[in-house]
Amino acid sequence: MGRENLAGEALILLRSRLCNPKFVFSPFSDSADSNYSKLKFILSSSVTEACNNSVLLLGPRGCGKNAVLELVIEDLLKEYPDMISVIKLNGLLHSDDNCAVKEIARQLCVEHQLLFSKMVSFDDNTQFMIGMLRECGLAHKTVMFVLDEFDLFAQGKQRLLYCLLDAMQSVTSQAVVIGVSCRLDADQLLEKRVRSRFSHRKLLFLPPSKEDLQRLIKHILVLPTDSSLPHDYVVEFNAKLLNILAKERFKQIIDTLSNSDSTCSNLLRFLFSAVCHMDLKSGFLLIENFKAALSSIQRQPKLEGLKDCSILELYMLVCMWRLEVREQDSYNFNSVMKEYRSIHDSFQTSDYYARNVCLRAFEHLLERELISFMDHRGHNQSTEFRPAKLLISYHELYQGLKSYRSCPAILQKLIDRER
Amino acid sequence: MAETPKKATRSLPKSKQSRHQNPTPSPSTPIPPTPQSLAPPRRSSRLISSPEPLPSPRSSRQALLISNPKTPKKSIDQSPSFAKNVKNPKRKAGTDSIDCALSPVSPDRYEVEKRKKCIEPKTRVSGKLKSEGKKKRVYYRKVVYDGGEFAVGDDVYVKRREEASSDEEDPEVEECKVCYKAGKAVMIECDDCLGGFHLKCLKPPLKEVPEGDWICGFCEARKSGKEVVFPKPPKGKKRVRTLREKLLSSDLWATHIESMWKEVNGSYWFRGRWYIIPEETAAGRQPHNLRRELYRANDFADIEMESILRHCYVMNPKEFGSAKNEGDDVFLCEYEYDIHWHSFKRLAEIDNDEEDGEEADSDEDWKSCQDSDSDAEEVEYEEENRNRLFTGLSKVSQLAANSRKGRTFGLQKIGMKRIPGLVRSHKQTELERAKATLLLATLPKSLPCRNKEVEEITSFIKGAICDDQCLGRCLYIHGVPGTGKTMSVLAVMRNLKSEVDAGRVKPYCFVEINGLKLASPDNIYRVIYEALSGHRVNSKKALQLLNERFSNGIKGGKGDNRPCILLIDELDLLVTRNQSVLYNILDWPTKPHSKLVVIGIANTMDLPEKLLPRISSRMGIQRLCFGPYNYQQLQEIISTRLKGIDAFEKQAIEFASRKVAAVSGDARRALEICRRAAELTDYRIKKSASLLNVASS
């Protein structure tokens, strides 16, 4: 078996792991502090002890709220077969009370193999829902309502939430309402009579910490020794991988990644693209793969915009930036021009262009939206008198200059000095 | 000696005399129509040929009267506890012993079908009789028949077949399984085989009845895999079986009397609802089934009163747990069994209450026409169901479950195929019990801290319905959420209902509407009209009809001229742009013949002031404010719920109630906080226990 085959197999394994939320979240599931076990306890206790509950899962997008919920529900369905029916609603689709209740009735009908009619009024559907809740409670069946985008249900009169939560105030019903929202203040959106009926269980999903990220990466990328892959390949692969993970360079990469977005889903996307960059010939993950993945995942349109600017345009940008550093709040083309001249005077650069050429370069930058006017007033004024501002950060400008093919040394020096 | 003397004297001595009084003493006992279809071979092997129908030899009765020491009882506060009784031997190595591990017999479709066929001719007959108009059935609530007094709602043993009423005697006294004597000595019941033992006959003998479950030595030995030989009865003495044993080995039936009547020919009949023993269900006997457990089937039959043997007592778990001296014929019934879908469903206690209430409402002598109506419906419905069973989903029965018409059909299907064991055999810890009582859904036995308000509402309603002309009666109740507004009103209505049942207050009708559960404010007319008359019309028509009804008064009609109490929760949702809905509703009580009382509940204190003056003048006169609870009240509410459960420290409750009182005074919030606290502790304990388990293994 050739190395390429082996690498291909390892690649398939890693990709399937990355796409499987069950595998990704399994290291978090055993500890008592994890949301997984807390949520599971709440849900399973309402199944076994026949009580009603309502839970909110809050946290920014991509933190695995839904993934963990799916895992828990899947486990519970296995553990208590035939005792749970799950009703799923999404705030984007069902924020209208009428259509939400209809959807609930439809899903209940499908779940219990009943006939469903579309032509039924809101009242009848509500009655049906309450009746079903009662019957299910009597039959020891728990109904779980999963309300995705919970905050959108909290618009208007909140009739649906009131109906659901009020139905849970009766002994015979046995139901759980699970709200999933990325608004941390979702429970404050509830009307006070609805909030009073809500049982105020909130689980906060936070992006993983740095240590957790490291653990997660290791968990996903280290190949299992008991797989179909030959043992020595696995050992070598793992050794190289651990070597990379320990490197300072790699930690930097992860830092830059998590600086912008440290959620699980972002990390998974990054790892997926890193794995895809793996060289099949050598069959091992290299640090270059991760770098390539980082640059491919962090596309920076501004930097790419800088790439095909002319040298003069770069000068203009640096001048504007120098003006901003000197805390000159508003400037227009004329003040930029003045700055440009002063640079030319003090450093005697070779690139000196006439004013009208500079104006063309300025307009070009405006078109590319690397800079813009401060306000939208004064349309009748000509370009050179309107105040302008930079739309590109120092960091981006620095990176852009560094990666520019033939950037004049003087510009590099200027930007370094002003740091 | 399991029997209390009271019962023995009541049921037995009369039996001989009353038989003569019976106008038509049918010499051959009629057979209840249904049971014949059950698989015969199993039972026929056990038949003993002595067809005397109601044997009750005097000798056994006398013995019974003398010997009744207190039955040793164990009271376990867990609900499915066992009433310890005294028993007569059930299993022994003899020839006529009953195989305890009966193969589960499921009532299959064929059988269901047959049962139905037996019923149908009867109902048709009744229909014919009615159309002839000659004589009608007379319905009774209570019948003294054959020495026993039977009322609607009682449970009775019914003979399964003529020959099956087998044994020579009908023992009411248990014999000890070891010495085969009854005697005065205290006996104890095994929780497994239900056999009775004298304390002194045991090895080693017991001084007193032990606490908790007790299993006899024979069962223990059998469980550990040993061969067990029960002591044989002394020669010449035949082993006798009680009715209870016969029932549990399916030689008898138990039924619940739904209604009783006298046929035209003078014979007495009743409509019974069968009980089923676990062996006869599709799931068979499940490990968590108690020995004395029965299921209520959703299957009815008309049975002649002749086939009644005597009373038995089928109880819900709560009653069963506290059952003391009812004797041997006590059974537990917690679930309903659907014979069509072979599924189980819990019996709702609330359901019971409602039924009782309705029964009490209607008059003692039921009109036969009413009942035959419902009979006809029943037949139709059964036919419908059969269609579904045999032709799959036929065109006729294609009714959507969520439309109102089809509701009765669909919801029957929901039920468990087997009752999950964890629900039954789970022993609750203190914390779990605390969690259960702190649930918002569980209704406390008493409502602390709202006595004044409850009194005020009671006097308001009583004053309104006792008055002949209740003019302009409106009560506006306001208060922040979670202060017990709706709960108090409902509690008042429950109390009133019991007073109506007792005959102290005139009957009334009560309509409860929640503003937030209506699709639009206009729909309220429809809902009110439907609640009052039972007809569904659109809201415009309903408004017109209601206007007529309330402004002109009602002419004739039963029950219609009862005063009507209308409870509107979340009243603020009914405010429309021109406020016509509220105006209409609040205007009706001012009409002279309306007999309408309106109670509105909302959160805002100044709702009447925000409305048009013509509305606020009608509504704002009588108001009741539910202030937020203060911390002592919250504390009292929580601790009354937690009475008897040692899970919370006093400071913990005080802390929670002070915190909540400072923010909102919302009782729901306080209860939820306490429940969450219990949940967290429970979580911690369970997690650490599971960690320990992992570590040890």
Whether B401 and A128 lie within 8 Å, measured CB to CB: yes
Say if residue A105 is in the same domain as residue A243: no
Partners of B138 in beta bridges: B262
Say if residue A234 is in the same domain as residue A273: yes
Question: pLDDT of B386-411, one tens digit each?
Answer: 444 433 333 334 566 666 654 545 56
Q: Specify the pLDDT at position B425.
A: 58
pTM exceeding the 0.80 threshold for the entire prediction: no
Q: Specify the pLDDT at position A149.
A: 93
Whether A52 and B439 lie within 8 Å, measured CB to CB: yes
Q: Searching chain A, which residue's CA lies closest to the CA of residue B694?
A: A30
CATH code at position B320 = 2.30.30.490
At which residue do the structure tokens 């009741």 appear? Answer: B624
Q: Are B172 and B242 a contacting pair, CB within 8 Å? A: yes
State the Cα–Cα distance between residues B17 and B25, nearest whole angstrom.
12
Q: What is the largest CA-CA distance in chain B?
A: 94
Say if residue A195 is in the same domain as residue A291: no
Say if residue B479 is in the same domain as residue B542: yes
State the Cα–Cα distance between residues A335 and A328, nearest whole angstrom.
10
Q: Are A194 and A161 a contacting pair, CB within 8 Å? A: yes
Is it the case that residue A351 has pLDDT exceeding 90? no
| Angle between the N-to-C axes of helices A210-221 and A248-260, in degrees from 0 to 180, rounded to the nearest 10 | 110
Q: Which among A38, A49, A123 has the least Cβ separation from residue B435?
A: A49
Q: Give the pair of three-digit tokens for residue B121.
A: 């001719």
Say if residue B512 is in the same domain as residue B608: yes
Q: Give the pair of three-digit tokens for residue A205.
A: 């999903």
Is it the case that residue B368 has pLDDT exceeding 80? no
DSSP string, B626-655: EPPP-HHHHHHHHHHHTTT-----HHHHHH
ipTM: 0.77
Which amino acid makes up residue A122? F
Whether A125 and B402 lie within 8 Å, measured CB to CB: yes
Question: pLDDT of B138-186, one tens digit each?
Answer: 888 777 777 778 888 788 888 765 544 444 445 556 667 667 666 666 6
Rounded to the nearest angstrom, the minimum Cα separation between B573 and chain A is 9
Q: Is residue B268 within a helix (H) or strand (E), and if so which, with residue range?
A: strand B268-276
B641 touches chain A (CB under 8 A): no
Question: pLDDT of A158-176, one tens digit each?
Answer: 889 998 898 888 777 889 9
Q: How confident is the model at residue A258 (pLDDT cuts 50, 70, 90)?
A: confident
Residue A147 exposed, middle or buried by CB count within 10 Å (0-12, 13-18, 19+) = buried
Q: Give the pair of three-digit tokens for residue B268.
A: 């007495």
Is it the case that residue B601 has pLDDT exceeding 90? yes
| Low-confidence winner among A24-28, A414-418, B111-115, B639-643 (lowest mean pLDDT) | B111-115
Q: Give the pair of three-digit tokens for residue B233.
A: 């009865």
Q: Is residue A271 within a helix (H) or strand (E), and if so which, with residue range?
A: helix A264-276
Q: Are A58 and A204 a contacting pair, CB within 8 Å? A: yes
Number of domains in chain A: 3
Full strand arrangement of the beta sheet holding A84-90 = A84-90, A142-148, A175-181, A53-58, A201-204
Q: Give the pair of three-digit tokens for residue A311.
A: 């040298």
Is B510 inside any structural domain? Answer: yes
Rg (CA), chain A: 30
Question: pLDDT of A352-362, one tens digit each?
Answer: 888 889 999 99
Residues 20-39 of B with CB under 8 A from A: none
State the Cα–Cα distance between residues B327 and B206, nearest whole angstrom.
22
Average pLDDT over residues A41-56: 88
Task: Identify the residue with better confidence: B105 or B531.
Answer: B531
Whether B413 and A116 lie within 8 Å, measured CB to CB: no
Point out the domain boundary residue: B220, B239, B258.
Answer: B239
Say if residue B157 is in the same domain as residue B254: yes
**DSSP-derived 3-state class of residue B71:** coil
| Angle between the N-to-C axes of helices B451-466 and B485-502, in degrees from 0 to 180, rounded to the nearest 10 | 50
Say if residue A274 is in the same domain as residue A404: no
Is B569 inside any structural domain? Answer: yes
Is B101 inside any structural domain? Answer: no
Could you tell me if residue B644 is left (phi over 0), alpha (psi between -120 and 50 degrees) or otherwise beta? Answer: left
Task: Identify the residue with better confidence: B345 or A13.
Answer: A13
pLDDT averaged over every residue in chain A: 86
Question: pLDDT of A93-151, one tens digit each?
Answer: 988 888 999 999 999 888 888 888 888 888 888 888 888 888 888 888 899 999 999 99
Task: Identify the residue with better confidence: B633 or B167.
Answer: B633
CATH code at position A57 = 3.40.50.300
Say if residue A265 is in the same domain as residue A399: no
Q: Specify the pLDDT at position B660.
A: 92
Average pLDDT over residues B582-591: 87
Say if residue B681 is in the same domain as residue B644: yes
At which residue do the structure tokens 């509107």 appear? Answer: B568
CATH code at position B603 = 3.40.50.300
State the Cα–Cα distance between residues A87 and A104, nearest whole angstrom.
7
Say if residue B652 is in the same domain as residue B591: no
Residue A137 exposed, middle or buried by CB count within 10 Å (0-12, 13-18, 19+) = buried
Residue B663 neighbours by CB distance under 10 Å: 10
Is B21 inside any structural domain? Answer: no
From residue A308, alpha-carbon distances to A299, A301, A362, A364, A410 in Å are 16, 12, 15, 12, 19
pLDDT averaged over every residue in chain B: 68
Whether A117 and B402 lie within 8 Å, measured CB to CB: yes
Task: Identify the residue with better confidence: B46 or B651.
Answer: B651
Q: Searching chain A, which residue's CA lies closest to the CA of residue B440?
A: A169
Identify which of B390, B331, B155, B337 has the alpha carbon closest to the alpha carbon of residue B255: B155
Q: Give the pair of three-digit tokens for residue A79.
A: 């553990």
Is it the case that residue B365 has pLDDT exceeding 50? no
**DSSP-derived 3-state class of residue B10:** helix
Say if residue B456 is in the same domain as residue B539: yes
Contacts of residue B528, defined as CB under 8 A and 6 or more positions apart, other chains included, come to B511, B513, B542, B546, B566
Point out the domain boundary residue: A299, A327, A361.
Answer: A299
Q: Are A331 and A320 a contacting pair, CB within 8 Å? A: yes
Q: Which among A52, A82, A128 has the least Cβ separation from residue B402?
A: A128
Say if residue B302 is in the same domain as residue B435: no
State the Cα–Cα distance between residues B567 and B493, nearest whole angstrom.
10
State the Cα–Cα distance between residues A133 and B555, nearest whole angstrom.
40
Residue B364 neighbours by CB distance under 10 Å: 8
Task: Identify the residue with better confidence: B8 or B207.
Answer: B207
Say if residue A59 is in the same domain as residue A156: yes
State the Cα–Cα distance between residues A399 and A416, nearest whole angstrom.
11
Which amino acid makes up residue B72? P
State the Cα–Cα distance between residues B427 and B552, nearest whole angstrom.
60
Say if residue A39 is in the same domain as residue A12: no
Whether A163 and B675 lie within 8 Å, measured CB to CB: no
Is B80 inside any structural domain? Answer: no
Cβ-Cβ contacts under 8 Å, B518 against chain A? 123
Q: Give the pair of three-digit tokens for residue B472.
A: 């302009």
State the Cα–Cα distance between residues B154 and B311, nearest whole angstrom.
7
Q: Specify the pLDDT at position B424.
A: 59
Q: Specify the pLDDT at position B568.
A: 92
Whether A116 and B523 lie within 8 Å, measured CB to CB: no
Is it the case that residue B22 has pLDDT exceeding 50? no
Q: Are B624 and B476 a contacting pair, CB within 8 Å? A: yes
State the Cα–Cα distance between residues B36 and B307, nearest whole angstrom.
14
Q: Specify the pLDDT at position B567.
A: 92
Is the backbone peptide bond immediately before B204 cis, with ω within 30 degrees of 0?
yes
**DSSP-derived 3-state class of residue A237:** helix
Identify which of B264, B276, B268, B283 has the alpha carbon closest to the alpha carbon of residue B314: B276
Say if residue B254 is in the same domain as residue B329: yes
Is A24 inside any structural domain? Answer: no
Identify which of B286, B406, B273 has the alpha carbon closest to the alpha carbon of residue B339: B273
Is A22 inside any structural domain? Answer: no
Cβ-Cβ contacts under 8 Å, A173 against chain B? 441
Is B14 inside any structural domain? Answer: no
Q: Searching chain B, which residue's CA lies closest to the CA of residue A40?
A: B683
Say if residue A363 is in the same domain as residue A413: yes
Whether A82 and B481 lie within 8 Å, measured CB to CB: no
| Angle between the N-to-C axes of helices A355-368 and A311-325, in degrees from 0 to 180, rounded to the nearest 10 | 80
Question: pLDDT of B205-225, one tens digit each?
Answer: 777 666 666 677 777 777 676
Q: Give the pair of three-digit tokens for residue B448.
A: 């602390």
Query: What's B306's DSSP letter?
Result: G
Mutate to test the interface with B, among A102, A117, A134, A202 (most CBs of B within 10 A): A117
Q: Give the pair of three-digit tokens for residue B167.
A: 């044994």
State the Cα–Cα distance between residues A153 and A161, nearest whole angstrom.
7
State the Cα–Cα distance between residues B338 and B341, nearest whole angstrom.
6
Question: pLDDT of B51-91, one tens digit each?
Answer: 333 333 333 333 333 333 443 333 333 333 333 343 333 33
Is B231 inside any structural domain? Answer: yes
Say if residue A188 is in the same domain as residue A242: no
Q: Are A250 and A40 a contacting pair, CB within 8 Å? A: no
Range of the domain at B264: 151-162+247-349
Residue B168 neighbours by CB distance under 10 Å: 12
Point out the domain boundary residue: A204, A228, A260.
Answer: A204
Rg (CA), chain B: 30
Rounded to the nearest angstrom, the minimum Cα separation between A109 and chain B is 7
Say if residue B525 is in the same domain as residue B620: yes
Say if residue A252 is in the same domain as residue A373: no
Task: Identify the residue with better confidence: B85 or A344.
Answer: A344
Identify which of B627, B605, B625, B603 has the alpha carbon closest to the alpha carbon of residue B616: B605
Say if residue B231 is in the same domain as residue B287: no
Q: Which among B407, B669, B686 has the least Cβ separation from residue A131?
A: B407
Say if residue B490 is in the same domain as residue B591: yes
First-last CA distance in chain B: 51
Is A25 inside any structural domain? Answer: no
Is B388 inside any structural domain? Answer: no
Q: Which among A124, A162, A199 has the least Cβ separation from residue B403?
A: A124
Average pLDDT over residues B226-235: 62
Point out the domain boundary residue: A299, A322, A350.
Answer: A299
Number of domains in chain B: 4
Is A26 inside any structural domain? Answer: no
| Angle between the N-to-C axes of helices A264-276 and A210-221, in degrees from 0 to 180, rounded to the nearest 10 | 40
First-last CA distance in chain A: 55
CATH code at position B218 = 3.30.40.10
Identify which of B569, B589, B581, B575 has the alpha carbon closest to the alpha carbon of residue B512: B569
Q: Specify the pLDDT at position B465.
A: 78
Q: Searching chain B, which residue's CA lies closest to the CA of residue A137?
A: B346
Q: Are A407 and A401 a contacting pair, CB within 8 Å? A: yes
Whether B416 and A83 lie within 8 Å, measured CB to CB: yes
Q: Specify the pLDDT at position A293.
A: 87
Residues 419-448 of B with CB under 8 A from A: 419-420, 422-423, 426, 432, 435-436, 439-443
Range of the domain at A108: 31-204
Q: How confident is the model at residue A177 (pLDDT cuts 50, 70, 90)?
A: very high
Question: pLDDT of B256-310, one tens digit each?
Answer: 888 888 888 878 888 888 888 888 777 777 777 777 788 888 888 888 887 888 7
State the Cα–Cα distance between residues B60 and B86, nearest whole angstrom.
16
Q: Specify the pLDDT at position B563.
A: 82
Say if residue A88 is in the same domain as residue A149: yes
Point out the domain boundary residue: B626, B661, B680.
Answer: B626
State the Cα–Cα distance between residues A168 and A190, nearest whole angstrom.
17
> What share of chain A has pLDDT > 90, as a percent?
16
Say if residue B532 is in the same domain as residue B575: yes
Question: pLDDT of B466-510, one tens digit each?
Answer: 766 656 678 899 999 989 898 899 989 988 888 888 888 888 888
Residues 334-353 of B with CB under 8 A from A: 343-348, 350
Residue A66 exposed, middle or buried by CB count within 10 Å (0-12, 13-18, 19+) = middle
At which residue do the structure tokens 């026409």 appear? Answer: B369
Point out the domain boundary residue: B219, B239, B259.
Answer: B239
Q: Are A216 and A264 a contacting pair, CB within 8 Å? A: yes
Mutate to test the interface with B, among A108, A199, A200, A203 (most CBs of B within 10 A): A199
Say if residue A258 is in the same domain as residue A188: no
Is A288 inside any structural domain? Answer: yes
State the Cα–Cα distance between residues B309 and B142, nearest whole angstrom.
16
Contacts of residue B624, defined as CB under 8 A and 6 or more positions apart, other chains included, come to B453, B456, B457, B475, B476, B477, B478
